[in-house]
Amino acid sequence: MAQDAAVEDEQWTPFDVMPEPALLSADRAEMSFADKLWMLPVLHRNEESRFIQEFRFTGRYHGQYAAVRAKQGDFEGWENRRVRGGLRVDFLDDFRFRTQFRSKDEDAVTGNPVLEDLWVAWRPGEEFVLKLGQFKPLWSYTWGISSDLLRTFERTQFVDQFRPRRALGAGISGEVGDSGWGLAGFSGNTEDGPSSDDGYFLVANAGGDAAGLIEGVDRLRWRLDYLYNNDSDRFGGDRNYRHGIAASLLGENGRWSGLIDVGFLTGLQGASGEGNAFGVSVLPSYDLIEDRLQLVTRYEYSRASNDALSLKSRYERELPGLDKAQGNRYHAVYAGLQWFLRGDQFKVLSGAEWARMRDSAGSAVFEGWTFTSGVRISF
């Protein structure tokens, strides 16, 4: 199923940071009620304007119920997983401004807002983009893709733990034929802004079209990301590391689609000193009913040489005594369904996942099932 490029600014290739906004229908009388409802956040749209081409509100609500049944205990409850709101402005033909806030208490629909994104991008031509502000580093497809487009409830354990967080930075990206490249630098302090002793991290991207290599494939995209961390101990989730490489391959053919995501880290600080980590995930999907109902499966495996792995923040760490548990091997298998009411902008998901993490001594740190059902709404 093709993803809806209008719902997110970070897309598959590093240069796709400013997709064209969806055009408004010239005849609103022919629009469905749902179309009119989703157009309400668009306050202004005029391609002929010399100053502001589009001004709109953006937002999302993700709510889900989860139940964990494991040898180490049980957990269940409803979570307002993501509550976001912001603005997006396209102006002077080649510029885009984006700001987004989230609730400080993620489990509250309303609450003190926390700034998540604040950036401006300039696209002087079809093949070149400059970006400045606070935004999400594009490292691994599983992290770079919008949460609205995720086919599972949560990202993989490897990405959940080692993703680079949003930070103040600047980036440049471009296209060369069917391929793209990107380079961005960020402050090492992802919470309070930059200072002289926070270090920094750099991310380099390359991606492109490889459909011509395999006859009969509708779509085949590849991406390679490299991250260098210079003395930042706060950007990478639970653990600090020096180098990170991520490689991704996304394919589609008819009703089938699949993603392979691989990551490798060096200089990882763990409970038993410095080591390396490796993670791989395979995510095949099949449209049971085209554009309506999709079967999603995933297998993931992570390994760290120094017991540096953590459990997933949702919802394995909710069990007593496991919030700081560590291990060196993690397996998980997921199966679920996506029911699309309005593409990825309004969908219902339900799934089950079995996972197990062991430490270097071979002891089971966690072993059990997580069952999840929820809704995703975005505009």
Is 40 contained in some domain? no
Is 29 contained in some domain? no
CA gap 275, 273 in Å, rounded: 7
Can you give the pLDDT at residue 211?
82
The string of DSSP letters for 164-215 reads PPPEEEEEEEEEETTEEEEEEEEES-TTT---TTS-EEEEEEEEEE-GGGST
- Which range of residues forms the domain containing residue 141? 5-20+50-378
Is 30 contained in some domain? no
R_g of the chain computed on alpha carbons: 21
pLDDT digits (tens, 9 = 90+) for 85-110: 999 998 998 899 999 998 766 555 55
Query: Has residue 4 got a pLDDT over 70?
Result: no
Structure tokens at 227: 């991250």
pLDDT digits (tens, 9 = 90+) for 164-202: 988 899 999 888 878 889 999 998 766 555 554 567 899
Query: Has residue 19 got a pLDDT over 80?
Result: no
Can you give the pLDDT at residue 274?
84
pLDDT digits (tens, 9 = 90+) for 273-299: 788 999 999 999 999 999 999 999 999
Is 295 contained in some domain? yes
Is 279 contained in some domain? yes
Query: Has residue 21 got a pLDDT over 70?
Result: no
pLDDT digits (tens, 9 = 90+) for 188-238: 766 555 554 567 899 999 988 888 777 778 989 999 999 999 875 555 545
CA gap 322, 67 in Å, rounded: 16
Looking at residue 143, what DSSP letter applies?
Answer: H
> How many CB atoms within 10 Å of residue 210?
17
Q: Are 199 and 229 in contact (CB under 8 A)?
A: yes
Can you give the pLDDT at residue 271?
67
Is 116 contained in some domain? yes
Is 149 contained in some domain? yes
Of 245, 157, 229, 140, which Cα lies nearest the Cα of 189? 229
Query: Has residue 10 got a pLDDT over 50?
Result: no
CA count, 13 A, side-chain hemisphere, 87: 11
Q: Which residue has the tokens 């760290």?
A: 304
Is 39 contained in some domain? no
pTM above 0.95, yes or no: no
For residue 168, what are the contacts with CB-CB under 8 A and spacing of at least 6? 133, 134, 186, 187, 193, 194
Q: Are 208 and 179 in contact (CB under 8 A)?
A: yes
- The count of domains in the chain is 1
Query: Has residue 357 got a pLDDT over 80?
Result: yes
Domain with residue 149: its CATH number is: 2.40.160.10
pLDDT band with cut points at 50, 70 and 90 for residue 27:
low
Query: Has residue 28 got a pLDDT over 80?
Result: no
Residue 254's region, left for phi above 0, alpha for psi from -120 to 50, else beta, is left
